[in-house]
Structure 1
Amino acid sequence: MSGVDMAGFDVPGPLAGGLRVVPHPAVMLVLEFGAAPSVVDDGAGRRHRGSVVAGPGFGCGGMVRAWGSSVACVQVRLSPLMARTVLDVGPADLDGTLVTLADLWGREASRVREQLAEVPSWEGRFALTEALLARRYQARSRVDPEVAWAWRRIAASRGRVRIEGLAAELGWSRKRLWTRFRSQVGMPPKRAATLVRFDHAVHRLVAGDTATRVAADGGYTDQSHLHRDVAAFTGLTPTTVTAEPFLTIDDVAWPTSRPGPPSPDTASDADWSAGASTA
């Protein structure tokens, strides 16, 4: 399935201090099946246990943390174009928020947990998850082609596209694009572009590029502009964000190139074992 990436995480011990959740331009679906339910503190005093769903940009401000011990889960990154179809919830209802999967799927959430726990390999868990998502996707309506086109243009440009230009190319007013895009993708197009631009920038910082170079190449007006965006999304500076496990694990859990079968025993700097798959 296009627009779906999966990674498997197995954390044998406790998440010391909790894991800061860094915003990402995708809908995050966490299907947990470990010995004890994981917990996500949403930064507003609410704690969510077990499998969860978060909208694009969830974690903005850097106050969201995940906790747990002996955590095992399949994490799915869904293109916002897939969310309404697969999750059976309006994307606008997920804008920067978190809900439990049980709230959306009822008893099916428990059945999925049990099924994942019974499968002995990551390859099997990915296959089970892919089949689940494909079944739900085929049974529901899709987003408007114009909205899908606008999202893909934003993603392909790494957030460096003018929203007025997108509306003009579609022959729509800016208001019409804003309304359709937000209702079907879950956030306004300008915020989507800002989030996509941030995601590319912060991963370049993690890879070792300087803030000056990242700002210049990433469409920021200057280095201070980059600094403000990183602080707004993570609560950190460009220098300190490079040590965040949620980001440093990405090249292992979500590799951009997957030439062969995923390896569930790949070790990360965060002492996690992880496997990866593209559906």
Structure 2
Amino acid sequence: MRSTVYQRDNVAAWDVARPERASRVAGVTMAGFGVRSLTALRMVPHPALTMILEFGAGQPIVDDAAGGQQRGSLVAGLGFGFGGAVLARGENVVCVQVRLSPLIARAVLGASPADLQGAVVSVDDLWGREASRIRERLGEVSSWEERFALTDALLARRNEAASAVDAEVAWAWRRILTGRGLVRVDSLAAEVGWSRKRLWSRFRSQLGMQPKLAAKLVRFDHAVHRLVAGEGAARVAADGGYADQSHLHRDVVAFTGVTPTTVAGEPWLTVDDTAWPATKHPPKARHERLGDR
């Protein structure tokens, strides 16, 4: 299925493609993008690693907060873009974008999520000649379904040599996801039968982020998608586990560098409803309010 998403200026069109079937690899979702002109797209933190496999006439360029720059196919770590100072640009960019669960990232990428937190690296640096081969093959086929199938086969093959995450760490991550970040993170260790120090250490070393920050990221992700859907900040704050609207405002600014009003129009988020329709974020009926624990 294909559709077109326009940026806020209604000038640069994004061609967006979605796979007809889910990936064979649990923890992988994909979308295809064709972008004629991309200027200063703010990258918004997301509770998954982001991999971009480009194969078009142009290359995506990512400028980070420290003045660094990355071109071409890349991988961005969990929560990459924190603070809103990471911008993407490019002309005539065509790519497959993969969202990768941190539970399978080490196996698929060959690098620990902990080494990628807050960073973006070249796929060439991670995969060597295999990165060039997949780029060539993606450019040789004529349909998005073939491109998705090629990408999925590659990820499935790499995932076969899985470097397993501890079952307790995986459970804690899934608990944070299913709870939409609204979990008492101090109780996670007790629930898996580990000490707090052990869980925090293993979680950080294997997934690249401490449980408390992971929960804040997941909660933020659900909140901003509700803002994008047009819900009011006061309602989102009340339903999203924030102490009040000011608390939501502070979190959004911390993660994105802009206010809730502005973030609702960010193209990186507004495209999600088209590119990743299976990951919509409907509000939950009830939950407890957590504040900043």
TM-score by length of 2: 0.86
Distance 1:73 1:257 in 2: 20
Structure of higher RCO (CA pairs closer than 8 Å, 6+ residues apart): 1
Describe the superposition over 1:37-59 as per-residue Cα deviations: whole angstroms up to 9, x where unpaired. 21111121111010000111100
Distance 1:211 1:200 in 2: 12
Q: Count residues in correspondence.
A: 256
CA RMSD of the aligned region, Å?
1.1
Matches within 5 A, 1:263-274: none
Matches within 5 A, 1:14-53: 14-15=37-38, 17-53=39-75
Alignment partner of 1:137 is 2:159: yes
The residue type equivalent to 1:14 in the other structure is S
The residue type equivalent to 2:60 in the other structure is S
Could you tell me which residue of structure 2 aligns to residue 150 of structure 1? 172
Could you tell me which residue of structure 2 aligns to residue 248 of structure 1? 270
Matches within 5 A, 1:155-170: 155-170=177-192
After TM superposition, give the deviation of residue 257 of structure 1 in Å: 7.1
After TM superposition, give the deviation of residue 189 of structure 1 in Å: 0.7
After TM superposition, give the deviation of residue 171 of structure 1 in Å: 1.3
Could you tell me which residue of structure 2 aligns to residue 6 of structure 1? 30
Could you tell me which residue of structure 1 aligns to residue 203 of structure 2? 181
Matches within 5 A, 1:43-192: 43-192=65-214
Whether contact under 8 Å (2:104, 2:162) holds in the other structure is: no
Describe the superposition over 1:108-156 as per-residue Cα deviations: whole angstroms up to 9, x where unpaired. 1111111111111111101000000000001232111111100000000
Whether contact under 8 Å (1:163, 1:174) holds in the other structure is: no
Could you tell me which residue of structure 1 aligns to residue 283 of structure 2? none
TM-score by length of 1: 0.90
Alignment partner of 1:212 is 2:234: yes
After TM superposition, give the deviation of residue 67 of structure 1 in Å: 0.8
Distance 2:75 2:275 in 1: 19
Mark the runs of 5 or more structure 1 residues left unpaired by the alignment. 259-279
Distance 2:247 2:272 in 1: 24
The residue type equivalent to 1:211 in the other structure is A
Mark the runs of 5 or more structure 2 residues left unpaired by the alignment. 1-24, 281-293
SS of the equivalent of 2:111 reads coil
* Identical counterparts, % of pairs: 69
